[in-house]
Amino acid sequence: ATPTAVMVATGVGANNGVLIKGGDALERAQKVNYVVFDKTGTLTQGKATVTTAKVFTGMDRGDFLTLVASAEASSYFSTSLKIVASSEHPLARAIVEYARHFHFFNEPSAAKDAQNLSKESKFSGWLLDVSEFSALPGRGVQCFIHGKMVLVGNRKLLTESGVTIPTEVESFLVELEESAKTGILVTYNDILIGVLGVADPLKREAAVVVEGLKKMGVRPVMVTGDNWRTAQAVAKEVGIEDVRAEVMPAGKADVIRSFQKDGSVVAMVGDGINDSPALAVADIGMAIGAGTDIAIEAADYVLMRNSLEDVITAIDLSRKTFFRIR
């Protein structure tokens, strides 16, 4: 294609909310063989909602929720301090919102503070002081509250810290996962105190886009840090057969490389910090516009409308621009 054609296509893309960083990226998209989708926030709406909160100890329900929310909120609200890792994670948001609503209905006095919560606010009201916070991508968050370690995350997070999961809790987890929910484990002082179940519905267009890609001769793949059971339940709903689950951020890039080995051209679509290594390694990295800045920086394309339909728009645009001059 002539430089003019590339310029025109880039403009057409921009008008449709598809930002393309350069002509090379535009050209590569026509040859794509695989589109690898991240699950959370990419195939799903990223509007996770807590559906279940089960306390496994004698702890008061309100106290339990305050503890979990405090751990997650320090990441969620600290973007100005650049502790972004888990902060913009849909799960963190869901948990804070759920706890906030619980307090709103149960303790009207606390509700005032809860309502005034904004990104920059000091959470004097109901959230607890947190120290030594760290977000562990693909696993959860870790911090200290009242001098005791708090973990909020998946099995891997607990296993790495040497916390065992009681069988009663494990079977509850499995139940959640089989219904496409993500189970989040919470420990305090190395004791498992409760589990949250989180549902994150698919984006409305997800299944149609997956089907569309197949018709175009492109193979859809799902890669996620979430557990196998949840991943498979979601993949089944969306129509993706090729699933890679329990993958750490660096592992996502390895998945891309494994597809590239035979010369295949691979696109990666993602929204999170945990997707950025894969977005960078992919032949075509596509970031969801609502995603994290780091993902957007690592990508060749930014889908500003946050619609997966634009994955197809992007491939179409490339095909139309480059087929003509063959």
Interface stretch with ligand ADP, choices 106-114, 132-140, 168-176, 298-306 (CB under 6 A): 132-140
Binding mask 21-40 for Mg ion (x = CB under 5 A): -----------------x-x
321 counts as binding ligand ADP under rule CB under 6 A: no
Q: How far is the CB of 48 from Mg ion (least distance, A)?
A: 11
Q: How far is the CB of 58 from ligand ADP (least distance, A)?
A: 23
3-class secondary structure, 282: coil
271 counts as binding Mg ion under rule CB under 5 A: yes
72 counts as binding Mg ion under rule CB under 5 A: no
CB 227 within 8 A of CB 246: yes
Binding mask 88-127 for ligand ADP (x = CB under 6 A): -x-xx-----------------------------------
- 310 contact, one of ligand ADP, Mg ion, none, CB 5-8 Å limit per kind: none
308 counts as binding ligand ADP under rule CB under 6 A: no
Q: How far is the CB of 263 from ligand ADP (least distance, A)?
A: 26
CA distances from 243 to 59, 220, 224, 231, 249 (A): 38, 9, 8, 7, 15
Q: How far apart are CA 226 and CA 244, in angstroms?
A: 9
CB 202 within 8 A of CB 180: no
CB 275 within 8 A of CB 288: no
Q: How far is the CB of 29 from ligand ADP (least distance, A)?
A: 23
Task: Count the neighbouring beta carbons within 10 Å of the beta carbon of residue 23.
Answer: 16
DSSP code string of 91-160: HHHHHHHHHHHHHHHH-HHHHHHHHT--TT----SSPPP-EEEEEETTTEEEEEETTEEEEEE-HHHHHH
41: region left, alpha or beta (phi > 0 left; psi from -120 to 50 alpha): left
Q: Which of 67, 223, 46, 71 is nearest to 136 (CA)?
A: 71
Which distant-in-sequence residues (6+ apart) come within 8 Å of 89 by Cβ?
Answer: 40, 75, 76, 135, 272
Q: Which is nearer to Mg ion, 125 or 270 (CB)?
A: 270
Q: Could you say which of 194, 225, 277, 291 contacts ligand ADP (CB under 6 A)?
A: 225
Q: How far apart are CA 235 and CA 80, in angstroms?
A: 35
- 300 contact, one of ligand ADP, Mg ion, none, CB 5-8 Å limit per kind: none
226 counts as binding ligand ADP under rule CB under 6 A: yes
Instruction: For residue 200, indicate whether it is catalytic.
Output: no
C-beta nearest to ligand ADP: residue: 225
Q: What are the residues binding Mg ion (CB under 5 A)?
A: 38, 40-41, 271-272
Q: Residues with catalytic annotation?
A: 38
Tell me which residues touch ligand ADP (CB under 6 A): 38-41, 72, 86, 89, 91-92, 138-141, 152-154, 182, 184, 224-226, 272, 274
